[in-house]
């Protein structure tokens, strides 16, 4: 429990201090509201602190559609955001905009990637197809296993833990309050006479009751459990991911290398993050021999020189996934004043600014955008009872 007494009444309660909750707090505070961010453990202690930090708006999207558009909009917010966060907090989110190479190792992967180049170009993105030789001219450490690649100029990367903490600190600098080690146990709702639907009036926490007319559930994969207690069904399931890092004492790669079953992200100080496994329906945080050795083999196939690097550490995170693959971002129909921002699966770091902006627009000015409606939670059958 935080040593300060929790406030009794606030403008907005945000439940969960990962990157999404912290982004929501930041954008609400920018709009002049005083949100309260509650985190049951430590800020960014789950997926948001584990992520590799890629802003893979193109590399991770295989088709056009609402998510592709949302991802590109969000990615393009980062250059200005990095400056704003640094000014408010002094934190450098280590934004690198050197592009990515998405590589193919089989003829089938070549066909698939070439098809993505067509729609990416059509949407105005700077992408080019490279054969294996051209890919090695860009990144000489790539092996002959790589037979083609898409050079994606616009995708970048950053430090995921720094982004989450910078959002939270910047929110505080603008008037938000943040409490760690405070768990929300229950939503409090009320049916007022003459009003068609009940509304949210606050939350019950392990440190007492807080009154608020707006509550945003940003509890990652755990959002379902909290909502279930209020009769709301919001399907989410965990997809565990394992990663490791090594230190390279000579420059190995300049850009992020993204392959079908592994990616290698070059960070400052010669660090390379290698990720990530995908294990659905697992909540445990164990680093497995099988997972790490699989990543090592895949990484070595595309970058043989990685064997000369120095081992640093391995860790895991739990991605929050939704059945239809789209995150939930928006208001609930069942209770007035209740919102969700959860289920960002492999792209929560990338999607954090647009998610924060969207929720802040809804709460601060009631602004709804047609293009964002596919993400509203009402697309699932919300009511349990
Ligand atoms: P979380 O980070 O899980 O945060 C939810 C928080 O809510 C937790 O801190 C939890 O303790 C808290 N909480 C839960 N219940 C309660 C409660 N009742 N009361 C108070 N607090 C509560 N995304 C990218 O964009 N780029 C990447 O390169 C990338 N790489 C990844 C690599 C791995 C291995 C993994 C696992 C994920 C990766 N992701 C990446 C995905 C990204 O990490 C997630 O989509 C994102 O972190 C989800 O953020 P969140 O805030 O919704 O959830
Ligand atoms: N976006 C990378 C991952 O989820 O592993």
Q: Looking at the whole model, is its pTM more than 0.85?
A: yes
Residue 3 has a CB neighbour count (10 Å cut-off) of 6
> What integer pLDDT is reported at residue 153 of this predicted model?
96
- Strand-pairing partners, residue 256, are 100
94-121: pLDDT as tens digits: 999 999 999 999 999 999 999 999 999 9
Distance from the alpha carbon of residue 350 to the mean position of ligand 1, in angstroms:
12
Q: What is the model's pLDDT at position 1? A: 46
Closest ligand 2 atom to the C-alpha of 275?
5
Q: E strands within 193-270?
A: 199-205, 208-211, 214-217, 237-247, 256-258, 263-266
Predicted pLDDT of residue 335: 93
Q: How far is the CA of 133 from the centre of ligand 1 (A)?
A: 38
241 CB near ligand 2 (under 6 Å): yes
Are 55 and 70 in contact by the 8 Å Cβ rule? The answer is: no
Q: Which atom of ligand 2 is nearest to the CA of 243?
A: 5
- What is the distance between the alpha carbons of residues 234 and 330, in angstroms, rounded to a whole number? 12
Whose C-alpha lies nearest to ligand 1, atom 46? 348
Which ligand is in closest contact with the Cα of 345? 1
CA of 186 to the centre of ligand 1 (A): 20
Pocket test for ligand 1, best of 94, 220, 347 (most atoms within 8 A of CB): 220
H or E stretch covering 133: helix 132-138
59 lines ligand 2 (CB under 6 A): no
What's the pLDDT at 314?
Answer: 98
Residue with CA at minimum distance from ligand 1 atom 48? 348
The CA-atom distances, in angstroms, between 375 and each of 12, 71, 332, 370 are 21, 12, 11, 10
What is the residue with the minimal CA distance to atom 5 of ligand 2?
276
Both tokens assigned to 229: 């207690």
Point out the residues of the chain with pLDDT beneath 70: 1-2, 382, 385
**Which pLDDT score, from 0 to 100, does residue 2 have?**
60
Of ligand 2's atoms, which has the minimum distance to the CA of residue 349? 1
Ligand 2 binding pocket includes 346 (Cβ within 6 Å) = yes
Per-residue pLDDT tens for 115-147? 999 999 999 999 999 999 999 999 999 999 999
Distance 138 CA to ligand 2 centre (A): 24
List residues bridging with 329 in a β-sheet: 341
Per-residue tokens: 320: 């929050």
Residue of 50, 53, 54 with the most ligand 2 atoms within 8 Å of its CB, for mutation: 54
Ligand 2 geometric centre to CA of 348 (Å):
9
Cα diameter, the chain: 72
């Amino acid at each position: 429990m935080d040593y300060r007494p929790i406030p009794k009444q606030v403008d907005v309660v945000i439940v969960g201090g990962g990157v999404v909750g912290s982004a929501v707090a930041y954008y609400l505070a920018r709009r002049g509201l005083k949100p309260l961010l509650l985190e049951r453990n430590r800020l960014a202690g789950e997926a948001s602190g584990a992520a590799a930090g890629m802003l893979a708006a193109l590399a991770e999207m295989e088709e056009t559609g609402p998510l592709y558009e949302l991802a590109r909009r969000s990615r393009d917010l980062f250059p200005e955001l990095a400056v704003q966060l640094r000014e408010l907090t002094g934190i450098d989110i280590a934004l690198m905009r050197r592009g990515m190479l998405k590589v193919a190792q089989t003829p089938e992967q070549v066909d698939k990637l070439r098809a993505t180049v067509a729609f990416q170009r059509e949407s105005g993105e700077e992408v080019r197809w490279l054969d294996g030789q051209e890919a090695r001219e860009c990144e000489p450490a790539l092996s002959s296993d790589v037979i083609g690649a898409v050079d994606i100029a616009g995708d970048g990367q950053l430090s995921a833990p720094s982004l989450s903490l910078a959002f939270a600190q910047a929110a505080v600098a603008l008037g938000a309050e943040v409490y760690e080690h405070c768990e929300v146990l229950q939503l409090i709702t009320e049916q007022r006479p003459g009003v068609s639907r009940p509304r949210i009036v606050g939350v019950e926490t392990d440190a007492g009751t807080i009154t608020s007319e707006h509550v945003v559930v940003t509890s990652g994969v755990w959002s379902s459990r909290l909502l279930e207690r209020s009769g709301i069904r919001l399907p989410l399931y965990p997809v565990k991911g394992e990663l490791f890092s090594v230190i390279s004492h000579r420059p190995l790669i300049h850009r992020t290398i993204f392959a079908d079953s592994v990616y290698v992200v070059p960070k400052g100080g010669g660090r390379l993050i290698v990720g990530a496994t995908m294990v659905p329906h697992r909540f445990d945080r164990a680093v497995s021999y099988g997972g790490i050795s699989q990543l090592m083999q895949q990484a070595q196939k595309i970058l043989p020189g990685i064997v000369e690097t120095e081992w640093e550490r391995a860790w895991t995170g739990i991605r929050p996934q939704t059945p239809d693959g789209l995150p939930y971002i928006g208001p609930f129909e069942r209770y007035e004043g209740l919102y969700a921002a959860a289920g960002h699966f492999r792209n929560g770091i990338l999607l954090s600014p647009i998610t924060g902006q969207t929720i802040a627009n809804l709460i601060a000015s009631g602004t709804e955008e047609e293009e964002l409606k596919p993400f509203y939670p009402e697309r699932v059958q919300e009511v349990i009872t």
